[in-house]
Structure 1
Amino acid sequence: MKFDLHTHHFRCGHADGNIRDYIEAGISAGLQVIGISDHTPYFGEKEEQAFPRIAMGKSELVNYVSEVLRLKEEYEGKIDVLLGIESDYFPEHAETYREILSAYPFDYIIGSVHSVGGVSIFNKNRWKGLSEKQHIEVKEDYYRIIQDSARSGMFQILGHIDAMKGNYPDFADIPAEHIVDETLQVIAQHGVAIEINTSGKTKLSGGWYPSDAILERACHFGVDVTFGSDAHKPARVADELAQVADRLKSIGFTEWVYYKNKQKINVPL
Protein backbone atom coordinates (compact mmCIF):
# COMPACT_ATOMS: atom_id res chain seq x y z
CA MET A 1 0.00 0.00 0.00
CA LYS A 2 1.55 3.27 -1.17
CA PHE A 3 0.25 6.68 -0.12
CA ASP A 4 1.21 10.35 0.02
CA LEU A 5 -0.84 12.59 2.31
CA HIS A 6 0.78 15.99 1.78
CA THR A 7 0.26 17.81 -1.53
CA HIS A 8 -0.51 21.40 -2.50
CA HIS A 9 -1.77 23.12 -5.64
CA PHE A 10 -2.24 26.56 -7.22
CA ARG A 11 -4.75 27.91 -4.67
CA CYS A 12 -2.08 28.47 -2.01
CA GLY A 13 -0.25 30.87 -4.29
CA HIS A 14 3.16 29.18 -4.16
CA ALA A 15 2.58 25.78 -5.79
CA ASP A 16 2.23 24.71 -9.41
CA GLY A 17 -0.58 22.74 -11.01
CA ASN A 18 -4.16 21.90 -10.19
CA ILE A 19 -5.55 19.10 -8.05
CA ARG A 20 -6.08 16.77 -11.00
CA ASP A 21 -2.39 17.09 -11.89
CA TYR A 22 -1.43 15.76 -8.44
CA ILE A 23 -3.90 12.90 -8.64
CA GLU A 24 -2.58 11.86 -12.05
CA ALA A 25 0.98 12.11 -10.71
CA GLY A 26 -0.04 9.83 -7.86
CA ILE A 27 -1.40 7.24 -10.28
CA SER A 28 1.81 7.43 -12.33
CA ALA A 29 3.83 6.90 -9.13
CA GLY A 30 1.88 3.74 -8.32
CA LEU A 31 0.02 5.15 -5.32
CA GLN A 32 -3.19 3.57 -4.08
CA VAL A 33 -4.01 6.62 -1.92
CA ILE A 34 -3.33 10.31 -2.42
CA GLY A 35 -4.23 13.05 0.02
CA ILE A 36 -4.87 16.61 -1.12
CA SER A 37 -3.88 18.98 1.67
CA ASP A 38 -3.56 22.58 0.62
CA HIS A 39 -2.96 25.37 3.17
CA THR A 40 -5.92 26.70 5.14
CA PRO A 41 -6.83 30.35 4.74
CA TYR A 42 -5.62 32.69 7.49
CA PHE A 43 -8.82 32.63 9.53
CA GLY A 44 -7.31 34.80 12.25
CA GLU A 45 -6.82 37.74 9.88
CA LYS A 46 -9.53 40.21 8.86
CA GLU A 47 -8.67 40.20 5.17
CA GLU A 48 -10.21 37.77 2.69
CA GLN A 49 -6.73 36.66 1.60
CA ALA A 50 -4.19 38.13 3.97
CA PHE A 51 -1.17 36.44 2.39
CA PRO A 52 -1.90 35.58 -1.28
CA ARG A 53 1.44 33.83 -1.82
CA ILE A 54 1.07 31.63 1.26
CA ALA A 55 -2.54 30.46 1.50
CA MET A 56 -5.89 30.50 -0.28
CA GLY A 57 -8.55 33.12 0.39
CA LYS A 58 -11.33 32.34 2.85
CA SER A 59 -13.99 32.15 0.13
CA GLU A 60 -11.94 29.55 -1.76
CA LEU A 61 -12.18 26.92 0.97
CA VAL A 62 -15.63 25.73 -0.08
CA ASN A 63 -14.49 25.54 -3.72
CA TYR A 64 -11.42 23.56 -2.70
CA VAL A 65 -13.49 21.05 -0.74
CA SER A 66 -16.05 20.71 -3.54
CA GLU A 67 -13.36 20.10 -6.15
CA VAL A 68 -11.61 17.41 -4.10
CA LEU A 69 -14.90 15.63 -3.38
CA ARG A 70 -15.85 15.74 -7.06
CA LEU A 71 -12.49 14.30 -8.09
CA LYS A 72 -12.75 11.67 -5.35
CA GLU A 73 -15.87 10.36 -7.09
CA GLU A 74 -14.37 10.63 -10.56
CA TYR A 75 -11.26 8.63 -9.65
CA GLU A 76 -13.00 5.98 -7.55
CA GLY A 77 -11.57 2.60 -8.46
CA LYS A 78 -8.37 4.14 -9.84
CA ILE A 79 -6.94 5.80 -6.74
CA ASP A 80 -8.41 6.71 -3.37
CA VAL A 81 -8.47 10.52 -3.21
CA LEU A 82 -8.59 11.83 0.36
CA LEU A 83 -9.80 15.25 1.43
CA GLY A 84 -7.15 16.71 3.69
CA ILE A 85 -5.91 20.16 4.57
CA GLU A 86 -2.79 21.61 6.17
CA SER A 87 -3.80 23.94 8.97
CA ASP A 88 -1.56 26.46 10.65
CA TYR A 89 -1.65 26.24 14.40
CA PHE A 90 -1.92 29.59 16.16
CA PRO A 91 -2.89 29.03 19.82
CA GLU A 92 -4.71 32.36 19.96
CA HIS A 93 -6.88 31.45 16.95
CA ALA A 94 -7.24 27.71 17.56
CA GLU A 95 -10.95 27.80 18.36
CA THR A 96 -11.73 29.82 15.24
CA TYR A 97 -9.89 27.26 13.10
CA ARG A 98 -11.56 24.38 14.94
CA GLU A 99 -15.05 25.78 14.37
CA ILE A 100 -14.56 26.51 10.68
CA LEU A 101 -12.80 23.28 9.78
CA SER A 102 -15.35 21.14 11.65
CA ALA A 103 -17.95 22.12 9.05
CA TYR A 104 -16.21 20.10 6.31
CA PRO A 105 -15.80 16.31 5.84
CA PHE A 106 -12.02 16.15 6.03
CA ASP A 107 -10.42 12.72 6.04
CA TYR A 108 -7.58 14.24 8.05
CA ILE A 109 -6.08 17.57 9.05
CA ILE A 110 -2.34 18.20 9.21
CA GLY A 111 -1.39 20.64 11.96
CA SER A 112 1.75 22.61 11.18
CA VAL A 113 3.60 25.32 13.06
CA HIS A 114 4.97 27.86 10.58
CA SER A 115 5.43 30.82 12.92
CA VAL A 116 7.00 31.38 16.34
CA GLY A 117 6.76 34.74 18.05
CA GLY A 118 5.14 36.22 14.98
CA VAL A 119 8.11 35.35 12.73
CA SER A 120 8.22 32.62 10.09
CA ILE A 121 10.17 29.55 11.11
CA PHE A 122 11.89 29.75 7.69
CA ASN A 123 13.17 33.30 8.25
CA LYS A 124 16.89 32.73 8.78
CA ASN A 125 17.38 36.35 9.83
CA ARG A 126 15.50 35.69 13.08
CA TRP A 127 18.64 34.02 14.47
CA LYS A 128 20.99 36.95 13.96
CA GLY A 129 22.47 38.35 17.16
CA LEU A 130 20.85 35.80 19.48
CA SER A 131 22.80 34.34 22.37
CA GLU A 132 22.99 30.58 22.97
CA LYS A 133 20.41 30.99 25.72
CA GLN A 134 18.05 32.77 23.32
CA HIS A 135 18.57 30.06 20.69
CA ILE A 136 17.46 27.48 23.25
CA GLU A 137 14.45 29.61 24.23
CA VAL A 138 13.29 29.88 20.61
CA LYS A 139 13.63 26.12 20.10
CA GLU A 140 11.70 25.48 23.31
CA ASP A 141 8.97 27.92 22.24
CA TYR A 142 8.65 26.14 18.88
CA TYR A 143 8.25 22.71 20.44
CA ARG A 144 5.85 23.93 23.11
CA ILE A 145 3.54 25.20 20.37
CA ILE A 146 3.81 21.79 18.68
CA GLN A 147 2.90 20.19 22.01
CA ASP A 148 -0.15 22.45 22.26
CA SER A 149 -1.17 21.45 18.75
CA ALA A 150 -0.98 17.76 19.72
CA ARG A 151 -3.09 18.38 22.82
CA SER A 152 -5.70 20.39 20.89
CA GLY A 153 -7.42 17.35 19.39
CA MET A 154 -7.73 19.20 16.09
CA PHE A 155 -5.24 17.16 14.10
CA GLN A 156 -4.60 13.59 13.02
CA ILE A 157 -1.10 14.42 11.76
CA LEU A 158 1.55 16.94 12.76
CA GLY A 159 3.54 18.37 9.87
CA HIS A 160 7.34 18.62 9.54
CA ILE A 161 8.11 18.79 13.26
CA ASP A 162 11.69 20.01 12.89
CA ALA A 163 11.17 22.28 9.88
CA MET A 164 12.68 25.22 11.73
CA LYS A 165 16.01 23.79 10.56
CA GLY A 166 14.90 24.29 6.93
CA ASN A 167 16.72 27.56 6.30
CA TYR A 168 18.86 27.39 9.44
CA PRO A 169 20.52 23.96 9.59
CA ASP A 170 22.23 24.81 12.90
CA PHE A 171 18.79 24.62 14.54
CA ALA A 172 19.29 20.86 14.79
CA ASP A 173 22.36 21.37 16.97
CA ILE A 174 20.81 23.76 19.47
CA PRO A 175 21.18 21.84 22.77
CA ALA A 176 17.56 21.28 23.76
CA GLU A 177 17.07 17.53 23.41
CA HIS A 178 14.86 17.56 26.49
CA ILE A 179 12.14 19.57 24.76
CA VAL A 180 12.16 17.27 21.72
CA ASP A 181 11.74 14.17 23.89
CA GLU A 182 9.03 15.88 25.90
CA THR A 183 7.21 16.80 22.68
CA LEU A 184 7.39 13.27 21.28
CA GLN A 185 5.95 11.90 24.51
CA VAL A 186 3.05 14.38 24.34
CA ILE A 187 2.42 13.41 20.71
CA ALA A 188 2.38 9.71 21.61
CA GLN A 189 0.07 10.28 24.58
CA HIS A 190 -2.47 12.04 22.38
CA GLY A 191 -2.38 9.51 19.55
CA VAL A 192 -1.31 11.92 16.82
CA ALA A 193 0.96 10.85 13.96
CA ILE A 194 3.98 12.70 12.68
CA GLU A 195 4.84 12.80 9.00
CA ILE A 196 8.12 12.03 7.36
CA ASN A 197 8.19 14.96 4.98
CA THR A 198 10.67 14.82 2.10
CA SER A 199 10.45 18.50 1.18
CA GLY A 200 13.38 19.35 3.45
CA LYS A 201 15.60 18.60 0.46
CA THR A 202 14.28 21.82 -1.13
CA LYS A 203 15.59 23.93 1.78
CA LEU A 204 19.10 24.80 2.98
CA SER A 205 19.06 21.93 5.48
CA GLY A 206 18.56 19.27 2.83
CA GLY A 207 17.28 15.86 3.91
CA TRP A 208 13.92 15.05 5.43
CA TYR A 209 11.79 16.31 8.29
CA PRO A 210 12.27 15.05 10.93
CA SER A 211 15.86 13.92 11.29
CA ASP A 212 16.81 10.30 11.85
CA ALA A 213 17.71 11.16 15.44
CA ILE A 214 14.17 12.38 16.08
CA LEU A 215 12.66 9.38 14.29
CA GLU A 216 14.69 7.04 16.50
CA ARG A 217 13.28 8.77 19.58
CA ALA A 218 9.78 8.72 18.05
CA CYS A 219 10.06 4.96 17.60
CA HIS A 220 11.21 4.61 21.22
CA PHE A 221 8.19 6.55 22.48
CA GLY A 222 5.68 4.75 20.23
CA VAL A 223 4.75 7.66 17.97
CA ASP A 224 2.80 6.80 14.82
CA VAL A 225 4.35 7.90 11.53
CA THR A 226 3.00 8.66 8.09
CA PHE A 227 4.36 9.92 4.76
CA GLY A 228 4.00 13.25 2.98
CA SER A 229 6.06 14.58 0.11
CA ASP A 230 4.77 18.11 0.72
CA ALA A 231 4.74 18.38 -3.07
CA HIS A 232 4.34 21.88 -4.49
CA LYS A 233 4.68 20.58 -8.02
CA PRO A 234 3.24 17.34 -9.38
CA ALA A 235 6.66 15.85 -10.17
CA ARG A 236 7.41 15.58 -6.44
CA VAL A 237 4.40 13.40 -5.56
CA ALA A 238 5.64 10.30 -3.68
CA ASP A 239 9.18 11.67 -3.79
CA GLU A 240 11.54 9.23 -2.00
CA LEU A 241 8.65 7.18 -0.63
CA ALA A 242 10.54 3.88 -0.97
CA GLN A 243 13.67 5.29 0.65
CA VAL A 244 11.63 6.57 3.60
CA ALA A 245 10.00 3.17 4.08
CA ASP A 246 13.41 1.49 4.08
CA ARG A 247 14.80 4.00 6.58
CA LEU A 248 11.85 3.53 8.91
CA LYS A 249 12.29 -0.23 8.86
CA SER A 250 15.99 0.13 9.65
CA ILE A 251 15.12 2.34 12.63
CA GLY A 252 12.67 -0.24 13.98
CA PHE A 253 9.23 0.80 12.75
CA THR A 254 7.07 -2.05 11.44
CA GLU A 255 4.12 -0.02 10.14
CA TRP A 256 2.94 3.46 9.26
CA VAL A 257 -0.50 4.97 9.06
CA TYR A 258 -2.89 7.05 7.02
CA TYR A 259 -6.32 8.43 7.83
CA LYS A 260 -9.71 8.13 6.16
CA ASN A 261 -12.80 9.71 7.71
CA LYS A 262 -10.39 10.65 10.53
CA GLN A 263 -9.94 6.97 11.33
CA LYS A 264 -6.42 5.58 11.50
CA ILE A 265 -5.49 2.85 9.05
CA ASN A 266 -2.32 0.89 9.84
CA VAL A 267 -0.20 -0.26 6.92
CA PRO A 268 2.73 -2.69 7.23
CA LEU A 269 6.01 -1.28 6.01
Structure 2
Amino acid sequence: MLTDYHNHLENGTLTLDYLEQFTNAANNKNIGSFGISEHAYHFYQTADILQNKWVNERRYYDMKDYVSLFHQAWNKEIDVKMSIEMDYTPGKHKEMEKFIQSYDFDYVIGSVHWVGDFGIDLAEYKKEWERRDLYDVYRKYYDQIVTLAQSNLFDIVGHIDLVKIFKYVPQDEEFLLEQYERATDALAQSKTCVEISSAGLRKPVGELYPDPRLLRKCFEKNIPIVLSSDAHFPEHVGADFDQSLALAKEIGYSSIMTFSKGERKEYPLG
Protein backbone atom coordinates (compact mmCIF):
# COMPACT_ATOMS: atom_id res chain seq x y z
CA MET A 1 0.00 0.00 0.00
CA LEU A 2 1.17 3.51 -0.87
CA THR A 3 -0.42 6.77 0.21
CA ASP A 4 -0.08 10.33 -1.00
CA TYR A 5 -2.11 12.50 1.34
CA HIS A 6 -0.59 15.96 0.95
CA ASN A 7 -1.48 17.60 -2.38
CA HIS A 8 -2.68 21.01 -3.53
CA LEU A 9 -4.88 22.34 -6.33
CA GLU A 10 -4.01 25.99 -5.69
CA ASN A 11 -1.92 26.44 -8.86
CA GLY A 12 -4.86 25.38 -11.03
CA THR A 13 -8.61 25.44 -10.53
CA LEU A 14 -11.16 23.84 -8.24
CA THR A 15 -12.55 21.83 -11.14
CA LEU A 16 -13.06 18.15 -11.76
CA ASP A 17 -10.83 18.25 -14.83
CA TYR A 18 -7.89 19.57 -12.82
CA LEU A 19 -8.53 17.23 -9.90
CA GLU A 20 -8.50 14.27 -12.29
CA GLN A 21 -5.01 15.21 -13.45
CA PHE A 22 -3.89 14.49 -9.88
CA THR A 23 -5.92 11.32 -9.39
CA ASN A 24 -4.78 9.97 -12.76
CA ALA A 25 -1.17 10.61 -11.77
CA ALA A 26 -1.77 8.76 -8.50
CA ASN A 27 -3.31 5.80 -10.34
CA ASN A 28 -0.37 5.68 -12.73
CA LYS A 29 1.98 5.41 -9.77
CA ASN A 30 -0.08 2.73 -8.02
CA ILE A 31 -0.90 4.97 -5.07
CA GLY A 32 -3.72 3.14 -3.34
CA SER A 33 -4.93 5.91 -1.05
CA PHE A 34 -4.77 9.45 -2.40
CA GLY A 35 -6.03 12.75 -1.03
CA ILE A 36 -6.16 16.47 -1.71
CA SER A 37 -5.40 18.74 1.23
CA GLU A 38 -5.73 22.36 0.17
CA HIS A 39 -4.30 25.09 2.40
CA ALA A 40 -6.99 26.14 4.86
CA TYR A 41 -5.92 29.78 4.70
CA HIS A 42 -7.29 30.01 1.15
CA PHE A 43 -10.86 29.68 2.46
CA TYR A 44 -13.08 32.49 3.72
CA GLN A 45 -14.24 30.21 6.52
CA THR A 46 -10.81 30.35 8.23
CA ALA A 47 -10.64 34.14 8.52
CA ASP A 48 -11.07 33.90 12.31
CA ILE A 49 -8.09 31.53 12.65
CA LEU A 50 -5.13 32.98 10.79
CA GLN A 51 -4.75 36.64 9.83
CA ASN A 52 -1.77 38.37 8.29
CA LYS A 53 -1.14 40.38 5.12
CA TRP A 54 0.45 37.49 3.18
CA VAL A 55 -2.40 35.11 4.01
CA ASN A 56 -5.23 37.60 3.61
CA GLU A 57 -4.20 38.35 0.03
CA ARG A 58 -4.59 34.63 -0.73
CA ARG A 59 -7.98 33.98 0.87
CA TYR A 60 -10.22 33.50 -2.14
CA TYR A 61 -11.95 30.09 -1.91
CA ASP A 62 -15.25 29.08 -0.37
CA MET A 63 -15.52 25.71 1.35
CA LYS A 64 -18.86 24.97 -0.28
CA ASP A 65 -17.13 24.93 -3.67
CA TYR A 66 -14.35 22.70 -2.31
CA VAL A 67 -16.79 20.20 -0.81
CA SER A 68 -18.86 20.25 -4.00
CA LEU A 69 -15.79 19.33 -6.04
CA PHE A 70 -15.25 16.17 -4.01
CA HIS A 71 -18.91 15.17 -4.32
CA GLN A 72 -18.59 15.56 -8.09
CA ALA A 73 -15.56 13.27 -8.01
CA TRP A 74 -17.25 10.68 -5.79
CA ASN A 75 -20.32 10.71 -8.04
CA LYS A 76 -17.98 9.71 -10.87
CA GLU A 77 -16.52 6.99 -8.61
CA ILE A 78 -13.16 8.74 -8.44
CA ASP A 79 -11.39 7.53 -5.31
CA VAL A 80 -10.00 10.66 -3.68
CA LYS A 81 -9.88 11.66 -0.02
CA MET A 82 -11.04 15.11 1.09
CA SER A 83 -8.66 16.82 3.45
CA ILE A 84 -7.30 20.19 4.46
CA GLU A 85 -3.86 21.37 5.49
CA MET A 86 -4.32 23.78 8.36
CA ASP A 87 -1.72 26.19 9.65
CA TYR A 88 -1.55 25.31 13.32
CA THR A 89 -2.26 28.62 15.04
CA PRO A 90 -1.50 28.96 18.77
CA GLY A 91 -4.39 30.34 20.78
CA LYS A 92 -6.95 29.34 18.16
CA HIS A 93 -7.74 25.78 19.22
CA LYS A 94 -11.49 26.37 19.57
CA GLU A 95 -11.68 28.03 16.16
CA MET A 96 -9.63 25.29 14.52
CA GLU A 97 -11.72 22.57 16.14
CA LYS A 98 -14.96 24.24 15.02
CA PHE A 99 -13.73 24.47 11.44
CA ILE A 100 -12.46 20.87 11.36
CA GLN A 101 -15.70 19.52 12.78
CA SER A 102 -17.80 21.47 10.29
CA TYR A 103 -16.75 19.25 7.38
CA ASP A 104 -16.60 15.53 6.73
CA PHE A 105 -12.88 15.34 6.14
CA ASP A 106 -11.23 11.97 5.64
CA TYR A 107 -8.25 13.27 7.62
CA VAL A 108 -6.73 16.63 8.56
CA ILE A 109 -3.10 17.74 8.25
CA GLY A 110 -1.67 20.24 10.72
CA SER A 111 1.47 22.13 9.77
CA VAL A 112 3.61 24.93 11.13
CA HIS A 113 4.54 27.58 8.56
CA TRP A 114 4.60 30.66 10.80
CA VAL A 115 6.71 31.48 13.83
CA GLY A 116 4.95 34.61 14.98
CA ASP A 117 5.10 36.98 12.02
CA PHE A 118 7.83 34.98 10.29
CA GLY A 119 6.79 32.83 7.32
CA ILE A 120 9.65 30.34 7.66
CA ASP A 121 9.24 28.62 4.29
CA LEU A 122 8.39 31.65 2.15
CA ALA A 123 10.91 33.11 -0.27
CA GLU A 124 9.61 36.58 0.57
CA TYR A 125 10.79 36.11 4.16
CA LYS A 126 14.09 34.39 3.46
CA LYS A 127 16.15 37.44 4.42
CA GLU A 128 14.68 37.16 7.92
CA TRP A 129 16.81 34.07 8.55
CA GLU A 130 19.90 36.31 8.66
CA ARG A 131 18.24 38.75 11.05
CA ARG A 132 16.86 36.34 13.62
CA ASP A 133 18.37 34.07 16.22
CA LEU A 134 18.44 30.61 14.64
CA TYR A 135 18.12 28.75 17.94
CA ASP A 136 15.19 30.94 19.01
CA VAL A 137 13.37 30.26 15.72
CA TYR A 138 13.91 26.51 16.07
CA ARG A 139 12.83 26.46 19.70
CA LYS A 140 9.64 28.38 18.93
CA TYR A 141 8.95 26.24 15.87
CA TYR A 142 9.17 23.02 17.89
CA ASP A 143 7.13 24.62 20.68
CA GLN A 144 4.34 24.71 18.11
CA ILE A 145 4.93 21.13 16.94
CA VAL A 146 4.52 20.08 20.57
CA THR A 147 1.28 21.99 21.12
CA LEU A 148 0.00 20.90 17.70
CA ALA A 149 0.36 17.31 18.86
CA GLN A 150 -1.11 18.05 22.28
CA SER A 151 -4.19 19.63 20.69
CA ASN A 152 -5.00 16.21 19.17
CA LEU A 153 -6.91 18.00 16.40
CA PHE A 154 -4.87 16.58 13.53
CA ASP A 155 -4.42 13.17 11.96
CA ILE A 156 -1.08 13.99 10.34
CA VAL A 157 1.64 16.53 11.05
CA GLY A 158 2.89 17.93 7.76
CA HIS A 159 6.62 18.13 6.91
CA ILE A 160 7.52 18.04 10.58
CA ASP A 161 10.97 19.63 10.17
CA LEU A 162 10.01 22.18 7.51
CA VAL A 163 12.05 24.70 9.49
CA LYS A 164 15.20 23.38 7.77
CA ILE A 165 13.90 24.29 4.28
CA PHE A 166 16.52 26.96 3.50
CA LYS A 167 19.40 24.98 5.07
CA TYR A 168 19.52 27.10 8.21
CA VAL A 169 20.17 24.32 10.72
CA PRO A 170 21.69 24.60 14.22
CA GLN A 171 25.18 23.13 14.44
CA ASP A 172 24.60 22.10 18.04
CA GLU A 173 23.39 18.52 17.59
CA GLU A 174 22.43 18.20 21.25
CA PHE A 175 20.06 21.15 20.87
CA LEU A 176 18.57 19.68 17.69
CA LEU A 177 18.05 16.25 19.24
CA GLU A 178 16.39 17.89 22.22
CA GLN A 179 13.82 19.46 19.86
CA TYR A 180 13.25 16.10 18.17
CA GLU A 181 12.84 14.41 21.54
CA ARG A 182 10.18 16.73 22.86
CA ALA A 183 8.31 16.78 19.56
CA THR A 184 8.13 13.00 19.38
CA ASP A 185 7.24 12.69 23.07
CA ALA A 186 4.18 14.85 22.39
CA LEU A 187 3.28 13.05 19.16
CA ALA A 188 3.50 9.67 20.87
CA GLN A 189 0.77 10.77 23.27
CA SER A 190 -1.51 11.93 20.44
CA LYS A 191 -3.39 10.48 17.47
CA THR A 192 -1.12 12.36 15.07
CA CYS A 193 0.87 10.48 12.44
CA VAL A 194 4.03 11.75 10.79
CA GLU A 195 4.42 12.06 7.03
CA ILE A 196 7.55 11.18 5.16
CA SER A 197 7.46 13.96 2.60
CA SER A 198 9.46 13.96 -0.59
CA ALA A 199 8.83 17.70 -1.02
CA GLY A 200 12.09 18.55 0.71
CA LEU A 201 13.98 17.02 -2.20
CA ARG A 202 12.52 19.79 -4.39
CA LYS A 203 13.47 22.55 -1.93
CA PRO A 204 16.82 24.22 -1.16
CA VAL A 205 17.49 21.76 1.67
CA GLY A 206 17.48 18.91 -0.87
CA GLU A 207 16.46 16.15 1.52
CA LEU A 208 13.39 14.35 2.74
CA TYR A 209 11.26 15.48 5.66
CA PRO A 210 11.92 14.34 8.32
CA ASP A 211 15.59 14.06 9.16
CA PRO A 212 16.47 10.36 9.70
CA ARG A 213 17.35 11.08 13.35
CA LEU A 214 13.88 12.52 13.89
CA LEU A 215 12.16 9.69 12.04
CA ARG A 216 14.09 7.17 14.13
CA LYS A 217 12.69 8.73 17.29
CA CYS A 218 9.21 8.47 15.76
CA PHE A 219 9.76 4.78 15.08
CA GLU A 220 11.10 4.12 18.58
CA LYS A 221 7.96 5.73 20.04
CA ASN A 222 5.55 3.85 17.75
CA ILE A 223 4.37 6.95 15.89
CA PRO A 224 2.71 5.80 12.63
CA ILE A 225 3.68 7.17 9.23
CA VAL A 226 2.12 8.08 5.91
CA LEU A 227 3.83 8.93 2.63
CA SER A 228 3.26 12.30 0.97
CA SER A 229 4.65 14.31 -1.92
CA ASP A 230 3.17 17.75 -1.14
CA ALA A 231 2.50 18.04 -4.86
CA HIS A 232 1.44 21.47 -6.08
CA PHE A 233 1.36 20.21 -9.67
CA PRO A 234 0.11 16.84 -11.02
CA GLU A 235 3.59 15.81 -12.16
CA HIS A 236 4.85 15.87 -8.56
CA VAL A 237 2.31 13.32 -7.27
CA GLY A 238 4.24 10.39 -5.80
CA ALA A 239 7.54 12.08 -6.65
CA ASP A 240 10.67 10.33 -5.37
CA PHE A 241 8.70 7.77 -3.38
CA ASP A 242 11.54 5.32 -3.93
CA GLN A 243 13.63 7.45 -1.59
CA SER A 244 10.79 7.83 0.92
CA LEU A 245 10.24 4.07 1.00
CA ALA A 246 13.95 3.38 1.34
CA LEU A 247 14.18 5.72 4.35
CA ALA A 248 11.09 4.25 6.01
CA LYS A 249 12.40 0.71 5.66
CA GLU A 250 15.92 1.67 6.71
CA ILE A 251 14.52 3.12 9.94
CA GLY A 252 12.46 -0.04 10.53
CA TYR A 253 8.93 0.83 9.45
CA SER A 254 6.97 -2.01 7.89
CA SER A 255 3.47 -0.50 7.87
CA ILE A 256 1.66 2.64 6.82
CA MET A 257 -1.55 4.32 8.02
CA THR A 258 -4.54 5.02 5.79
CA PHE A 259 -7.58 7.23 6.40
CA SER A 260 -11.19 7.28 5.35
CA LYS A 261 -13.77 9.56 6.98
CA GLY A 262 -11.72 9.74 10.15
CA GLU A 263 -11.26 5.99 10.35
CA ARG A 264 -7.69 4.72 10.19
CA LYS A 265 -6.30 1.38 9.11
CA GLU A 266 -2.76 0.11 9.05
CA TYR A 267 -1.40 -1.72 6.00
CA PRO A 268 1.94 -3.28 5.12
CA LEU A 269 4.24 -0.71 3.57
CA GLY A 270 4.34 -0.89 -0.21
Shift of 1:135: 2.2
Question: Per the alignment, in what secondary structure is the counterpart of residue 226 of structure 2?
Answer: strand
Shift of 1:172: 5.5
* Structure 2 residue 162 is the aligned partner of structure 1 residue 160: no
Shift of 1:187: 0.2
Separation in structure 2 between the aligned mates of residue 171 and residue 12 of structure 1, nearest angstrom: 33
Size of the aligned set, in residue pairs, is 254
Shift of 1:190: 0.8
Residue number among 163, 167, 171 corresponding to 2:169 in the alignment: 171
Normalising by structure 2, what TM-score?
0.87
What does residue range 41-80 of structure 1 map to in structure 2 within 5 Å? 41=41, 42-43=46-47, 44=49, 45=51, 50-52=56-58, 56-57=59-60, 59-76=61-78, 80=79
Q: Which residue of 2 aligns with 1:243?
A: 243
Separation in structure 2 between the aligned mates of residue 109 and residue 252 of structure 1, nearest angstrom: 25
Separation in structure 2 between the aligned mates of residue 107 and residue 159 of structure 1, nearest angstrom: 15
What does residue range 69-108 of structure 1 map to in structure 2 within 5 Å? 69-76=71-78, 80-108=79-107
Superposition CA RMSD, Å? 2.1
Separation in structure 2 between the aligned mates of residue 85 and residue 172 of structure 1, nearest angstrom: 31
Alpha-carbon displacement from aligned partner over 1:16-72 (angstroms, at most 9, x marks no partner): x8222111111122222211111113523399x7132xxx52x52221111013212
Separation in structure 1 between the aligned mates of residue 233 and residue 219 of structure 2, nearest angstrom: 30
Question: Per the alignment, in what secondary structure is the counterpart of residue 205 of structure 1?
Answer: coil
Q: Which residue of 2 aligns with 1:5?
A: 5
Shift of 1:11: 6.5
Q: Which runs of 5+ in 2 are unaligned?
A: none
Question: Per the alignment, in what secondary structure is the counterpart of residue 35 of structure 1?
Answer: strand
Q: Which runs of 5+ in 1 are unaligned?
A: none
Separation in structure 2 between the aligned mates of residue 260 and residue 38 of structure 1, nearest angstrom: 17
Separation in structure 1 between the aligned mates of residue 197 and residue 19 of structure 2, nearest angstrom: 19
Separation in structure 2 between the aligned mates of residue 253 and residue 31 of structure 1, nearest angstrom: 18
- Tell me which amino acid in the other structure corresponds to 1:94: H
Separation in structure 2 between the aligned mates of residue 36 and residue 172 of structure 1, nearest angstrom: 33
Shift of 1:246: 2.4
Structure 1 residue ranges (4+ consecutive) displaced by more than 4 angstroms after TM superposition: none
Normalising by structure 1, what TM-score?
0.87
Shift of 1:12: 8.2
